[in-house]
Amino acid sequence: MTKKEEITGKFNSFFEVPVAAKIIRVGDIIIATDIKIQKIRSNKVKDGIALNEQEVIGLQARKFIIAESVFKLNELSKPHVIKANDPVNIIYASNNLMLKTAGIALGSGAIGETIKVKNEDTGNVLLGEIVNKNTVQVSGK
């Protein structure tokens, strides 16, 4: 006959998540050496934290991040490639037509974000999407 024993205790499961290897200041772009992997209890894993390194590498800190702390995704953003008052190329493309003119960024943003730009020739303020570090594409709407 098999003897049954009752075991009591506490079970803790862990996740390996990226944490800051050092202090990260506002505006810093996160690189691989800024990250280390640390085990944390599963009950400490909250929505909105990075679960792997690829989620944070290349992003910019929007807040001061203390060493050993987890990366909260709402405290990170794509790095700004255009800053307010930067000179930019404004392009308009539609079917077989492409127009390009010089402008000034009226806001800051990352690739894919929308900012206001001012056409240097006409003074008109337009809304466009950031294409790269010096180009904003506007639509004909």
Q: What is the pLDDT along the chain (141 residues), one digit of tens a residue?
A: 678 888 888 878 888 999 999 999 999 999 999 999 999 888 888 889 999 999 999 999 999 999 999 999 999 999 989 999 999 999 998 888 889 999 999 999 999 999 999 999 999 999 999 999 999 999 865
Query: How many other C-beta atoms can be found within 10 angstroms of the C-beta atom of residue 24?
Result: 25
The CATH number corresponding to 14-77 among 3.90.1210.10, 3.40.50.1170, 3.40.50.620, 3.40.50.2300 equals 3.90.1210.10
Q: For the chain, give me the number of helices (H) and strands (E)?
A: 0, 9
CATH fold for domain 87-138 = SH3 type barrels. (2.30.30)
Stretch (H or E) spanning 47: none
The strand pairing partners of 91, in sequence order, are 100, 137
What's the whole-model pTM score?
A: 0.67
